[in-house]
């Protein structure tokens, strides 16, 4: 290898290590589609993992949307085999022809890979997103009138589905990675959809060339993302500070001091509310900015509202945010299973046949004589978990009818400081 070539590879490796926080985890997965970005990532990570003693495995998701996909997965598996790495191909069969295909495929891809990583005891997965991808994301979100979080684009590190996702190539240009592959005599797959103007990302990619004379290029947009990420971090610290001062959790509801909440800047109010909604609904994506603003404006005048499967109301100087009853009205599970993604019940001794968890509702609340003494809103108690046996209410711990039963939130379902704040 010539000196310039060796220097170019050294630059990529140094940048990759910096993107990984200076060290590789002991066990790491890498997502490889066969395209140039992910093939270069696999090549570079193999070098680093061999030196660091990291156990590396590769995974490919075949969405089943193109006849070439199966052959491309075999191509990746063959290359991984030459490196002595374990590789697995995951198949998605969930597309029903409804909704946004790219969004559905992306969500399925993350879930499939997270399940794979869990099976393989891999706490983190590296993804091949580049500076080019980052610039395209910023431009697309600008078109959607995104705020600080949207324009900060892809984070170098994030947590989702119980897995840490690493994007250590956000510093690198796609062409630099292809040059690395050429120097190593490695091939890659060209996905024809990467040139299909029907997709918004491809339209954005093609528009970058026209914007370059104005100084709006990949480097500029990637720097915008870094600037917005720094602003987001500052806002997050302020949100965490405000939450610590004005917020408490009671009976699974988020309760905030109303006067202090409305005294916060608009953006901090929005973040607090989205965190509250997300911690209760468990939604992967937050509601849009305008409905959140409308909910907050309504609360300021005393109007209750529902959003994202939650209800919010102003009561005695406090804002209560809790599960909307209609969102869980028909949800029933055996009493030893997780209810609404958040609640588990502990029985007094052993479960009786037919015992189940479901919402308390008005009929159940009427059987709780002490619920008013708790000081909790009636609407909130309707949606709390209760233990039933057929039509017989056995216990409603959050409404004061304990009867030796207890309910507690599942670990990880507490106040969520990291829920997404933007699409």
Q: Are 333 and 321 in contact (CB under 8 A)?
A: no
Residues 6+ apart with CB under 8 A from 175: none
Cα→Cα distances 126→48, 130, 365, 384, Å: 13, 12, 49, 39
pLDDT of residue 208: 86
- The span from the CA of 133 to the CA of 371, in Å, is 54
- Token pair in block for residue 231: 């602003």
- Token pair in block for residue 254: 């988020």
**Position of tokens 């989702």?**
160
Q: Are 405 and 347 in contact (CB under 8 A)?
A: yes
DSSP state of 256: E
- The span from the CA of 393 to the CA of 396, in Å, is 8
pLDDT of residue 423: 41
Pinpoint the alpha helices (H) of 1-100. 3-19, 36-52, 69-82
Q: Look at domain 3-223 and name its CATH class.
A: alpha beta
Beta bridge partners of 311: 306, 322
Written as one string, the DSSP assignment of 132-199 is: HHHHHHHHHHHHTT--HHHHT-S-SEEEETTEEEE-TTTTS-HHHHHHHHHHTT------GGGG-TTS
Q: What is the mean pLDDT of residues 58-74?
A: 88
Query: Could you report the per-residue pLDDT of 205-244, keeping only the tens digit for each?
Result: 888 888 888 999 999 999 999 999 999 999 999 999 999 9
pTM as predicted? 0.81
121: three-class secondary structure by DSSP: coil
Looking only at Cα atoms, what is the longest distance across the chain?
83
* Topology alike, domains 3-223 and 238-323: no
| Dihedrals phi, psi of 389, to nearest 5 degrees | -130, 100
- The span from the CA of 51 to the CA of 53, in Å, is 6
Q: Which helix (H) or strand (E) holds 355?
A: strand 355-359
395 sits in the region (left: phi over 0; alpha: psi -120 to 50; else beta) called beta
Q: 238-323: which CATH architecture?
A: Up-down Bundle (1.20)
Domain locations in the chain as residue ranges? 3-223, 238-323, 325-409
Mean pLDDT of the chain: 91
Query: Could you report the per-residue pLDDT of 125-165, keeping only the tens digit for each?
Result: 999 999 999 999 999 999 888 899 999 989 999 998 999 99
pLDDT of residue 352: 77
- Token pair in block for residue 294: 């409308």
Query: Could you report the per-residue pLDDT of 355-374, keeping only the tens digit for each?
Result: 999 999 999 999 999 999 99
pLDDT band at 64 (very low <50, low <70, confident <90, very high): confident
Cα→Cα distances 176→61, 172, 186, 238, 335, Å: 25, 7, 14, 39, 56
318: three-class secondary structure by DSSP: strand
């Amino acid at each position: 290898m010539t000196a310039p070539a060796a220097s170019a590879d050294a630059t990529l490796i140094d940048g990759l290590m910096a993107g990984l926080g200076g060290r590789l985890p002991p066990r790491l997965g890498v997502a490889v589609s066969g395209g140039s970005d992910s093939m270069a990532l696999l090549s570079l990570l193999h070098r680093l993992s061999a030196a660091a003693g990291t156990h590396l495995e590769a995974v490919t998701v075949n969405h089943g949307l193109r006849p070439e996909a199966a052959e491309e997965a075999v191509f990746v598996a063959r290359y991984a085999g030459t490196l002595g790495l374990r590789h697995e191909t995951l198949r998605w069969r969930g597309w029903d022809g409804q909704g946004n295909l790219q969004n559905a495929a992306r969500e399925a891809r993350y879930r499939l890979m997270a399940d794979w990583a869990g099976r393989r005891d891999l706490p983190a997965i590296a993804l091949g997103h580049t500076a080019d991808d980052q610039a395209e994301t910023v431009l697309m979100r600008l078109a959607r009138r995104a705020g600080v979080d949207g324009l900060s684009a892809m984070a170098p590190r994030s947590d989702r589905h119980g897995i840490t996702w690493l994007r250590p190539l956000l510093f690198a240009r796609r062409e630099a990675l292809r040059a690395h592959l050429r120097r190593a005599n490695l091939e890659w797959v060209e996905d024809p959809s990467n040139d299909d103007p029907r997709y918004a990302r491809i339209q954005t990619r093609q528009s970058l060339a026209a914007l370059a004379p104005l100084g709006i290029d990949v480097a500029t947009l990637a720097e915008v993302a870094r600037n917005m990420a720094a602003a987001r971090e500052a806002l997050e610290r302020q949100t965490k500070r405000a939450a610590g001062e004005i917020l408490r959790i009671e009976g699974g509801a988020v309760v905030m001091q109303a006067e202090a909440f409305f005294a916060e800047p608009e953006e901090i109010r929005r973040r607090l509310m989205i965190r509250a909604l997300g911690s209760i609904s468990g939604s992967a994506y937050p509601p849009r900015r305008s409905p959140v603003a409308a909910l907050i404006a309504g609360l300021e005048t005393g109007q209750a509202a529902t959003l994202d499967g939650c209800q919010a109301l102003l009561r005695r100087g406090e804002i209560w945010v809790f599960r909307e009853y209609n969102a869980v009205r028909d949800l029933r599970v055996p009493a030893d299973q997780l209810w609404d993604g958040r609640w588990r019940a502990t029985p007094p001794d052993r479960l009786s046949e037919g015992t189940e968890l479901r919402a308390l509702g008005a009929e159940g609340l009427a059987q709780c004589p002490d619920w008013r003494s708790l000081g909790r809103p009636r609407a909130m108690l309707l949606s709390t978990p209760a233990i039933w046996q057929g039509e017989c209410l056995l216990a409603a711990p959050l409404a004061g009818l304990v009867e030796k039963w207890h309910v507690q939130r599942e670990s990880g379902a507490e106040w969520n400081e990291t829920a997404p704040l933007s699409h």
